[in-house]
């Protein structure tokens, strides 16, 4: 069962689509989208479908105001962060620990704001460690700065940062073999798209089950 609510922020209205885990829920997992798409992303939809049952986690898919308004370009990071902070009370409303997360730009927002907002942990999907072809422009400081239990789920062929490029740190990392930044796998891959998404959902569910509430 899903429920959608509109949340006013300083940048305009945001939108949260809830996928409830029921009375046994242990966490809210809040997932923001990237700069190139919305909550229809394959990994976000797969997690919303799987985590309520597999990890006793209520999933909140968060649409930033720019996306709700129909704009095509994401605003500056500080605007994204401010909107996330403004809608955070709605994510805490169920009274459960909140795992802050997202994919790509949404993962960066979660990392930058998690400690300030009192998040329980951080889930970074397709974290853009650097712009494609520019490994010297690293964003590893955002990932290291969470100070919280952090899981990174990264495609093996992600041009924004392959798993081997990530520096050692306190985070855990799940590699999705063959996958690109959107967790798509090529037809020549020795795996299927279904298997790739199962790697994402199984890895996240296993990590969540191991987190203390």
Read off the CATH number of the domain in which 17 is found: 3.40.50.1820
Q: Which structural domain, as residue segments, surrounds residue 100? A: 2-210
How many domains would you assign to the chain? Answer: 1
Q: Distance between CA atoms of 160 and 181, rounded to whole angstroms? A: 7
pLDDT-derived band at 2 (thresholds 50, 70, 90) equals very high
Quickly list DSSP for 76-102.
-HHHHHHHHHHHHHHHHTTSS-EEEEE
- In the chain, % of residues over pLDDT 90: 96
pLDDT per residue over 38-69, tens digit each? 999 999 999 999 999 999 999 999 999 999 99
What is the structure's pLDDT at 148?
Answer: 97
- Residue 87 CA neighbour count, 13 Å, CB half: 30
pLDDT per residue over 169-182, tens digit each? 879 999 999 999 99
Taking each helix axis as running N to C, give the angle between helix 193-210 and helix 42-54, from 0 to 180 degrees, rounded to the nearest 10: 50
Instruction: Please indicate, yes or no, whether the overall pTM of this predicted structure exceeds 0.75.
Output: yes
The three-state secondary structure class of 42 is: helix
Q: Is the pLDDT of residue 1 over 80?
A: no
What is the structure's pLDDT at 113?
Answer: 99
């Amino acid at each position: 069962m899903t429920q959608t609510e509109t949340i006013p922020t300083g940048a305009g209205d945001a939108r949260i689509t809830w996928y409830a885990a029921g009375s046994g829920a242990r966490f809210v997992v809040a997932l923001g989208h990237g700069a190139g798409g919305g909550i229809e992303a394959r990994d976000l939809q797969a997690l919303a479908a799987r985590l309520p049952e597999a990890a006793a986690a209520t999933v909140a898919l968060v649409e930033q105001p720019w996306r709700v308004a129909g704009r095509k370009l994401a605003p500056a990071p500080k605007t994204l962060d401010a909107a996330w902070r403004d809608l955070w009370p709605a994510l805490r409303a169920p009274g459960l620990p909140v795992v802050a997360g997202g994919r790509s730009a949404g993962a960066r927002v979660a990392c930058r704001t998690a400690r300030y907002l009192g998040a329980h942990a951080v889930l970074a999907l397709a974290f853009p460690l650097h712009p494609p072809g520019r490994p010297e422009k690293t964003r590893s400081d955002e990932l290291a700065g969470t100070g919280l239990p952090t899981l990174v789920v990264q495609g093996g062929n992600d041009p924004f940062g392959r798993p081997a490029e990530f520096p050692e740190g306190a985070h855990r990392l799940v590699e999705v073999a063959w996958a690109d930044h959107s967790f798509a796998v090529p037809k020549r891959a020795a795996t299927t798209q279904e298997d790739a998404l199962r790697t994402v959902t199984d890895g996240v569910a296993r990590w969540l089950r191991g987190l203390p509430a």
